[in-house]
Amino acid sequence: MLQDQDLLSIQEVRTKVDKAYAAWQKYLGYSQEKIDSIVEHVAAAARANSQRVAELAVEETGYGNARDKNIKNLLACDVLPRRMRGMKTVGVLRELTEEKVVEIGVPVGVVAAILPTTNPTSTAIYKTLISLKAGNAVVISPHPRAHRCTCVTAAILYEAAVEAGAPEDLVQCVDTATMEGTQALMRHERTSVILATGGSGIVKAAYSSGKPAFGVGPGNVPVLVDTSSDLEDAVGKVVAGKSFDYGTVCSSEQAIVAEDSLRERILGILKSQKAYLADDAQKLALGKLLIMPNWTVNANCVGQSPVKIAKMAGFEVPPDTSIICCEIAGVGKQYPLSAEKLSPVLSLHFVKDFAAAVDTCYALLKFGGLGHTAVIHARDEARIRQYGLRVPAMRVLVNTPAPQGSTGITTNVFPAMTLGCGAAAGNATSDNIGPLNLINIKRLAYAVRRAEEAFETRVGVAAGAPAFGGIDRGTVAAAVDRYLAARGITQSGGVTQGTVSNVATEVVDRFLSRRSTGPKTGFS
């Protein structure tokens, strides 16, 4: 039966990609104004249904909570479309009059949108809107565990697009969700680009598909709480970020790193924020529960409440617990809780000074979050800059909860649910992915100079040779004299070397007069 489902999924993918491609051929003729109208209408439909699909996502996946899932949906259908207003994606994008270059936006075609189980509805909305804004069709591939809520969301988006005048079939969603179907979607000849959000396996598959792909890396987000920070504000924001949707966002905080001098104050503030401080036995149990022997996150613990996490680990916490905190002494495989946890469990690291704190943040990123996100809470601008220059993260956030800052809710980075992590993480980009990542730009470039004028060094002239046109008769005569002398030529028949030199110089002068425009090059 499983094999039959695989075959059904593969066939469905083939049909839906072909339909999306045919719809895109029609969409290619749409103006920027018409595209923008469709995007606004689709976003409005998503806003009207945001709470409903958030509840469906929690009901189906068991991850996170509906209140925060609704906020993530609104990021995609409220914050994002407002940021995209006025953005040019098709036709003439810019005319650079001084450079005499015209930039033209060209949609890429069919976008394969691979979705996660942790943020299914918000990611479906986000990827659909940026694809449509870029003039593309989109085929959504749901995670099997989030199939129903994703399909309901996709249907809302599709109906709104058609209602606004989009071609039929421009937005497609795969009804039979299997890994084999997803693989077929990524490798389909008419798939133009892949947006892959999910575990490391699906991201690697996307990059191995032979198609252009935007994937993401894991996040193991360190938070440096500096001595210059407003400590109450800083710790409160860490708790707000870590508890958001029960830690399902890949950019949520994973560790506080601070100097020893702040330890007692930070622990006190955490308690006032209803954080639970685990003892040694509880920390050991949590490490075994949350992190599997192969160093992957236990899927059964992802996005669960602190109460449920504690119960699974064999202890109890108060029902109003915001997060569970575990003070640990290092980073690496001896310390499982120093890895990414995707749950409301936060590690605490106290070190001797600022330099050691920066080093620990670096180690946390290297252990499991290269290129993703790091945070600092500080008022000392020099330390903020030092941290930003040092840590290997493509988003370095200042004085904000990490999930809200990295996705553009509390900062001015581009609002996104797919966060590139750069080459260090094996990603194609470090951008927060948006419509401009889903177009190609062609350039009309007018001639502004002759080829030989582009070079400071004359093309075809030996190094050290005099500039062309700077040769005088005396230089040529001396060169000929040296040439003849080297070959033993002396006065003969009444002709002296000087006479020969004069004749040679006259020949060169005639040549120069015919080539007064300069030497030919490989471009002429």
Chain length of the chain: 524
Residues paired with 92 in a beta bridge: 104
For residue 184, how far is the Cα from the chain centroid?
24
How do the pLDDT tens digits run along the chain, 524 residues long? 445 788 888 999 999 999 999 999 999 999 999 999 999 999 999 999 999 999 999 999 999 999 999 999 999 999 999 999 999 999 999 999 999 999 999 999 999 999 999 999 999 999 999 999 999 999 999 999 999 999 999 999 999 999 999 999 999 999 988 889 999 999 999 999 999 998 888 888 899 999 999 988 789 999 999 999 999 999 999 999 999 999 999 999 999 999 999 999 999 999 999 999 999 999 999 999 999 999 999 999 999 999 999 999 999 999 999 999 999 999 999 999 999 999 999 999 999 999 999 999 999 999 999 999 999 999 999 999 999 999 999 999 999 999 999 999 999 999 999 999 999 888 889 999 999 999 999 999 999 999 988 998 876 655 555 554 555 666 666 776 777 777 777 655 445 555 656 666 666 666 556 555 544 443 33
Q: What is the b/e burial string over 415-442, where b = at least 16 CB atoms within 10 angstroms of the residue's CB?
A: bbbbbbbbebbebbbbbbbbbbbbbeee
Alpha-carbon span 309 to 297, nearest angstrom: 13
Domains of the chain: which residue ranges?
2-215+435-445, 221-404, 463-514
Alpha-carbon span 245 to 516, nearest angstrom: 75
- Residue with the two structure tokens 């798939």: 191
Are residues 63 and 246 in contact, defined by beta-carbon separation less than 8 angstroms?
A: yes
- Residue with the two structure tokens 């600092």: 376
The pLDDT of residue 492 is 54
Write out 134-160 in H/E/C secondary structure.
Answer: CCCEEEEECCHHHHHHHHHHHHHHHHH
Alpha-carbon span 277 to 322, nearest angstrom: 11
Q: Which of 149, 151, 250, 301 is catalytic?
A: 250
Question: φ and ψ at 272, to 5 degrees?
Answer: -65, -20
The pLDDT of residue 456 is 86
Pairing status of strand 191-196 against strand 213-214: parallel
CA distances from 32 to 27, 37, 86, 434 (A): 11, 9, 10, 16
- Residue with the two structure tokens 């001595």: 227
CA-wise closest residue to 405 among 519, 518, 242, 514? 242
Map residue 494 onto helix, strand or coil: coil
Sequence letter at residue 101: V
The pLDDT of residue 499 is 61
DSSP letter at 167? Answer: P
Map residue 225 onto helix, strand or coil: strand
Give, rounded to a whole angstrom, the gap between the first and last alpha carbons of the chain. Answer: 68
**Domain 221-404 architecture:** 3-Layer(aba) Sandwich (3.40)
Are residues 455 and 120 in contact, defined by beta-carbon separation less than 8 angstroms?
A: no
Question: φ and ψ at 335, to 5 degrees?
Answer: -130, 80
Alpha helices in 28-144 (DSSP H): 32-48, 50-61, 66-74, 80-84, 120-133
The pLDDT of residue 523 is 36
Asked if 250 is an active-site residue, the reply is yes
Sequence letter at residue 87: M
| Fold exhibited by the domain 2-215+435-445 | Aldehyde Dehydrogenase; Chain A, domain 1 (3.40.605)
